Amino acid sequence: MTVGRFRIRSRLGSGGMGEVYLAEDTSLKRSVALKRMAPRLRNDERYRHRFIKEAERASSLNDHRIAGIYDVLEVRDETFLVMEYVEGVTLRQRLKEPFGWKEFLPVAIECAEALVTAHEKSIIHRDIKPENIMLTGKGGIKILDFGVARRLPTHRQITANAPTESGSTDTGSLSGTLAYMAPEVLVEKESDERADLFSVGVVFYETLAGRHPFLAGSVIATTDRILNSPAEPLRHIKPELPVALEQMISRLLAKDPADRYPHAAELAADLHALERGDVPKRRCCWLSPSPPSGSISRDGWRREPHRRKSTWRSYPSRRWPGMQTARRFQADWRRRSRPG
C-alpha cells in the first residue's frame, strides 16, 4: 500500500486515535511512522482542524529527546501524521522487569529535559504515560505524540456512547489518559504545564514502585483516588530509595498545582543534583505524610538506619519545631542544675 510518497511496510499498532504503520519515504529513503486518524475522528471537522493545528505546533520542537513530527498528509479523505520512526521499546514494555533507582535516574532526567524544551515553547503534552516514552538502543529516551494527545469529553458531553479505552474517548475538550491525568484536569479546571508534571510523577512512581499509585478496579474508583487519596510513600515499597528522590516524586504528585514544581526546569535541576550526589536546593519535606525514621544527631542531621554509619542526610531540626523547643528546655535545665 502506498500513501503519497510513502510505501507502507507493516502495521506497528493501534490506539484510540487510530493505527500506526511503519513506512518508507521513497524520496528521502528513510523509515517513518505513519499515524492514520481513526474514521470517527476524521468525520469530526472541528477535531480534525485542531489535530492539524496542534501537529503544526508540535513540529516546531527540535530536541533529540522528542520524536519529531515531519508532516501531515490528507489523501483520499484520510489524514495521516508523518512522524519520526523510533527503534526501541516503550517504557511500558520495560516495566515488566524491576527498575533500580540508579538506572531510573538518567531516564527521569531526560524526560524532565524534554518537558523543559516543550514547555518553553508553550507546548503541553497532555498524555504522558509509559506507552509514550520510548527507550532507544543508545540508552536515551524519546517522548512520542507531543501536542497530539487524545481528546476526552467533559461531563456535559458524555452520552450513551461507551468509552474507547480506559474510560476515555476521543472527542471533547479534555486530553489524556484518565489514570495519568492531573486532578485539575479531571475536574475541568484551567490547567497548564504543571499537569504534565503530575503525569510525569505518576510515571516515575510506577517505574520505581512497579505499580500505579492510583489505579483501581474502575474508572470512578481511579478518579476518586487521584482526586482525594495520597499515594503510598515510595520508601514503604522500596526502602533503599534516596529520601530526596521520594520527596521530588511526592511534590510532583501534589493534588494542588501550586504545591508542585512550577516548571520542569526546576525538576531537572533537582534530578541533576541527586545524580551528582548533592542535596537538591528545593526541599519539600513538608509534603511527606510523616518525618522519616532514623536517629537525629546533635546538630539536627538524620542518620539513615539502613546505611553505613558514615552516611548522613540533611534534615535540619527546623523542620520539626518541637525538637528546637525540647533542646532549649534541656539546655536551660542543665544550666539551672549546675552546682553553685
Pull the grid cell for residue 317. 531540626
Which of 180, 148, 153 is closest to 164 using CA atoms? 153
CA 147, CA 127: separation in Å to the nearest integer?
9
For residues 61 and 70, the answer to whether their CB atoms sit within 8 Å is: no
**H/E element, 302:** strand 302-303
Pull the grid cell for residue 259. 504545591
For 311, residues 6+ apart whose C-beta sits below 8 A from its C-beta are 303, 304
For the chain, the C-alpha Rg in angstroms (whole number) is 24
For residues 80 and 3, the answer to whether their CB atoms sit within 8 Å is: yes
Q: Establish whether 127 is a catalytic residue.
A: yes
| Catalytic residue, candidates 25, 71, 77, 127 | 127
Which of 118, 131, 134 is closest to 195 using CA atoms? 118
Residues with active-site annotation: 127
